[in-house]
Amino acid sequence: MPTLDARLRLPLAGLSPATTSFPGSTPKPGSLSFALRPPSASLSSSASAPAAAAPPIVVVGSANADIYVEVDRLPLVGETVAARAGRSLAGGKGANQAACGGRLAAGPTYLVARVGDDANGRLLEGALADAGGVRLDRVARAPGAPSGHAVVMLMPGGQNSIIIVGGANMEGWASGVGSDDLDLIRRAGVLLLQREIPDWVNVQVAQAAKGAGVPVILDAGGMDAPVPGELLSLVDIFSPNETELARLTGMPTETFEQISRAAGACHKMGVKEVLVKLGSQGSALFIEGGEPIRQPIIPATEVVDTTGAGDTFTSAFAVALVEGKPKEECMRFAAAAASLCVQVKGAIPSMPDRKSVMDLLESVQPPFILNNGARGQIRRIQ
């Protein structure tokens, strides 16, 4: 991938840093200001674009410079192992979800985030601009804090282990979320959150969304700590994987029955809908008082890297939700996007465009099993 690495490190043409302010902050972090790349023609073609523009998707979350190292296995305690390859790519759960939304959504996708005024911050700015469709004027440079970064240990078969360093993602919010950002959130079609920024920031923006009737989706990935009850009470859809679900509930999640019981525990915490990502077993949506909705994976031709798969799934689900699709169709659309994602190395570089997702869905239209056991056919997502 030398060509990609070189591209990500090029200075952004037309980048013109402006001064922006957070209330009560000194010095003032710089905001990003540059011409945005228009969506690709394939996203607006009559064959793949929705009939009407949807309201904006707003992602509040992290942006990391991911240091990828490809290893045959993880080192043991006290052991040093040699990597087959290594490179730096843009990532972070917030940036990943925004990049995916930018490529799939009919309306605009905004990222509200903090990066450092450093080389990693510029790598992130460039990669997100190149991704297309992401509005970055709400990304600000935090003074005195380095950009967040992560070490991704990628093993054969596409599995990975990740260590994150918060940096500006955790330290850049001292002044809170600005009023302009909160107004944007109140006008959104959906708010996407993760746990790689402070919980109190998530609470602040979720309160703004909830007060305006904007759905809130919380991806459970990020910090290894209990989710505050105040935050869960503001969430409409909680989206963990099975490992995160087990950790957050203290319950086993080895079987589907155990996963169902753990999702029920989340319902008792105040979350009405729990969207569980199950890796090779697909996904399941548990709606309080209803039967689970299960979605199998759409098999990938080759699994290369699973790093961005969960973020792709969550973001694609949100895109279909904003467009008013039924939950079953949202899950199928998300499964197709995730299937394409795992076939490319790197999180943001792996995010698929809408035409690719639609083409995949067109090629795999098997019957599905309804909750009542009857067989039916998924309608094509326009």
Residues annotated as catalytic (active site), given as ranges? 311
- Was 121 annotated as part of a binding site? no
Query: Phi and psi at residue 77, in whole multiples of 5°?
Result: -60, 130
- Was 310 annotated as part of a binding site? yes
Rounded to 10°, the helix 93-104/327-341 angle is 110
Beta partners for residue 67, in sequence order: 88, 151
Quick one: residue 125, left, alpha or beta (phi over 0 = left, psi -120 to 50 = alpha)?
A: alpha
- Was 270 annotated as part of a binding site? no
- Was 346 annotated as part of a binding site? yes
Q: CB neighbours of 29 closer than 8 A, spacing ≥ 6?
A: 20, 22, 114, 117, 140, 141, 142, 143, 172
- Was 325 annotated as part of a binding site? no
Which amino acid, residue 154? L
| Sign, Cα dihedral of 51, 40, 345, 315 | negative
Query: Phi and psi at residue 108, in whole multiples of 5°?
Result: -75, 155
The strand pair at 64-70 and 367-369 is best described as unpaired
- Was 239 annotated as part of a binding site? no
- Was 14 annotated as part of a binding site? no
- Was 308 annotated as part of a binding site? no
- Residue 24, judged by CB atoms within 10 A of its CB (0-12, 13-18, 19+), counts as exposed
- Was 4 annotated as part of a binding site? no
CA dihedral 196, 111, 300, 42 (to 10 degrees): 180
Tokens of 268: 């008792």
Tokens of 164: 């994150």
- Was 222 annotated as part of a binding site? no
- Was 305 annotated as part of a binding site? yes
- Was 100 annotated as part of a binding site? no
- Was 341 annotated as part of a binding site? yes
Closest CA to 299 of 348, 342, 256: 342
- Was 95 annotated as part of a binding site? yes
- Was 64 annotated as part of a binding site? yes
Q: CA-CA distances (angstroms) from residue 328 to 321, 332, 381? A: 10, 6, 11
- The annotated binding site for ATP is made up of 241, 277-282, 310-311
Which residues does the annotation place in the binding site? 64-66, 92-96, 196, 241, 277-282, 305, 307, 310-311, 341, 344, 346, 350
- Enumerate the known binding-site residues for substrate: 64-66, 92-96, 196, 311
Which positions make up the binding site for K(+)? 305, 307, 341, 344, 346, 350
